[in-house]
């Protein structure tokens, strides 16, 4: 029997439990490099449950932990609530919840912060501390103190009004950057934890590979190869700096980066560009350009494999390595390779359909 889902609803700031409610039609996902999302419907069969839901489901104020059976699988913030009634008068509260990282995208930098020769992980923690040290801003995001070994110079100006989340994304995306996410789990004492995880150059978890076969546990797969974003020639644009009012204003520009090996191999010239309008230092812009160019030179591949949920297949698989083996007419000699899981999307069981998960894979 498939375990049921329920919501633990808490005050976002104190994490004190307000209520625990059942939920139907759950759909949840979690990613590395992208904020996860959960949707579902809390059934409202009577006045008593309606009263409880009105008290506990407060968009923007309620923290949500998702339990599947006895396991804590996911956490985030209730942002949207939509009360819906069907033709039979049955009520349901439809909820949309963003992962904890969505909070950092709702917090803005109202002060200038300067870091010189600081490890990039320490800059991340400085930004998170800035968000949580403000009055009313602490939602108990925790972290450890390990470093990446990569130092940065950064000046974040209050005039730009950037969100903390966007600053973290920009810092992560620079050359020799990192990955970050906020994980949800119970610690050894059973306490609920929101943990900022940082990985350089990538986040990894799990000690041993999980083997998935098709035909076998892999029910289906999709293997897109997308060259629409490929570029072998690149230039990035930074901030417009004008210290002479009488002169024309021009933005900071990176050098034009050209992949000569790609062109020599017969690829057509494919141009690309990116904007980093808050970057005022040439070295920082050049590092962004090299990172963007590196990502664009190889056609993007994010395969998806659909598997039955349960056992080792949970949202905790993020960052783990799987060994995927596929034999079919496209792979007559068997594809046998290792891939890192960078996304998990859970689909609830439906009539005649089991509970499944899609795993989004990173191609080495």
Report pLDDT for 244.
63
Residue 117 falls within a domain, yes or no?
A: yes
Do residues 72 and 43 share a domain?
yes
Encoding tokens for residue 204? Answer: 């990894």
What pTM value is reported for the model?
Answer: 0.91
Residue 35's contacts (CB-CB under 8 Å, 6 or more residues apart) are 98, 99, 101, 102, 105, 165
Nearest to 15, CA basis, from 158, 266, 186, 235 = 186
Same domain, 215 and 193: no
- Same domain, yes or no: 218 and 307: yes
The reply to whether 219 and 305 lie within a common domain is yes
Average pLDDT score over the chain: 93
pLDDT tens, residue by residue, 293-333: 999 998 778 899 999 988 888 898 999 999 999 999 999 99
pLDDT bucket at 1, cuts 50 / 70 / 90: low
pLDDT at 156 over 90: yes
Asked if residues 148 and 178 have their Cβ atoms less than 8 Å apart, the reply is yes
Q: Is the pLDDT of residue 247 over 70?
A: no
pLDDT at res. 49: 96
pLDDT of residue 351: 72
Burial code (b: 16+ CB inside 10 Å, e: under 16) for 205-214 equals: ebeeebebeb
Considering 246, 271, 296, which residue would you say is the last residue of a domain? 296
CATH number at residue 358: 2.40.450
Q: Is residue 204 part of a domain?
A: no
pLDDT of residue 207: 65
- Using DSSP's 3-state secondary structure scheme, residue 332 falls into coil
Rounded Cα gap, residues 169 and 171, in angstroms: 6
- Tell me the two tokens of residue 66: 């998702």
Q: Which of 42, 67, 99 is the last residue of a domain?
A: 99
> What is the extent of the structural domain holding 156?
104-199
* φ/ψ (deg, to 5) at 83: -80, 130
Distances (CA, A) of 31 to 80, 163, 221, 231, 330: 20, 20, 18, 25, 28
Same domain, 48 and 91: yes
Q: How far is residue 226's CA from residue 363's CA, in Å, rounded to a whole number?
A: 13
Q: Are residues 268 and 170 in the same domain?
A: no
* Total domain count, the chain: 4
Asked if the structure places residue 319 within a domain, the reply is yes
Q: How are beta strands 141-142 and 192-199 bridged, if at all?
A: parallel
Residue 353 has pLDDT above 90, yes or no: no
């Amino acid at each position: 029997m498939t375990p049921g889902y329920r919501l633990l609803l808490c005050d976002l700031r104190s994490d004190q439990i307000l209520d625990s409610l059942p939920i139907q039609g759950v759909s949840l996902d979690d990613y590395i490099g992208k904020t996860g999302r959960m949707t579902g419907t809390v059934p409202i069969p009577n006045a008593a449950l309606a009263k409880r839901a009105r008290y506990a489901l407060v968009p923007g104020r309620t923290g949500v932990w998702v339990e599947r059976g006895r396991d804590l699988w996911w956490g985030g913030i209730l942002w949207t609530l939509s009360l819906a009634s069907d033709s039979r008068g049955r009520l349901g509260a439809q909820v949309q919840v963003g992962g904890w990282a969505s909070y950092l995208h709702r917090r803005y930098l109202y002060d200038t912060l300067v870091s010189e020769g600081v490890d990039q992980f320490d800059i991340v923690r400085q930004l998170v501390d800035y968000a949580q040290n403000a009055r009313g801003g602490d939602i108990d995001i925790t972290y450890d103190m390990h470093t990446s070994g990569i130092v940065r110079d950064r000046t974040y100006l209050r005039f730009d009004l950037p969100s903390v989340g966007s600053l973290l994304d920009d810092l992560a995306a620079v050359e020799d950057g990192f990955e970050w996410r906020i994980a949800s789990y119970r610690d050894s004492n059973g306490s609920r934890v929101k943990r900022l995880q940082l990985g350089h150059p990538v986040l990894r978890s799990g000690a041993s590979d999980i083997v998935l076969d098709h035909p076998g546990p892999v029910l289906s797969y999709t293997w897109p190869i997308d060259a629409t974003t490929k570029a072998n020639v690149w230039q990035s644009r930074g901030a417009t700096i004008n210290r002479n009012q009488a002169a024309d204003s021009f933005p900071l520009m990176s050098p034009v980066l050209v992949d000569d090996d790609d062109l020599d191999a017969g690829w057509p010239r494919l141009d690309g560009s990116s904007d980093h309008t808050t970057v005022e230092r040439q070295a920082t812009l050049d590092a962004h350009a090299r990172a963007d160019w590196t990502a664009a030179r190889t056609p993007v591949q994010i395969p998806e494999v659909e598997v039955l949920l349960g056992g080792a297949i949970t949202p905790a698989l993020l960052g783990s390595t799987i060994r995927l083996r596929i034999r079919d007419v496209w792979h007559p000699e068997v594809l046998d390779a290792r891939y890192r899981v960078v996304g998990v999307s859970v689909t609830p069981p439906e009539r005649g359909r089991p509970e499944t998960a899609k795993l989004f894979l990173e191609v080495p």
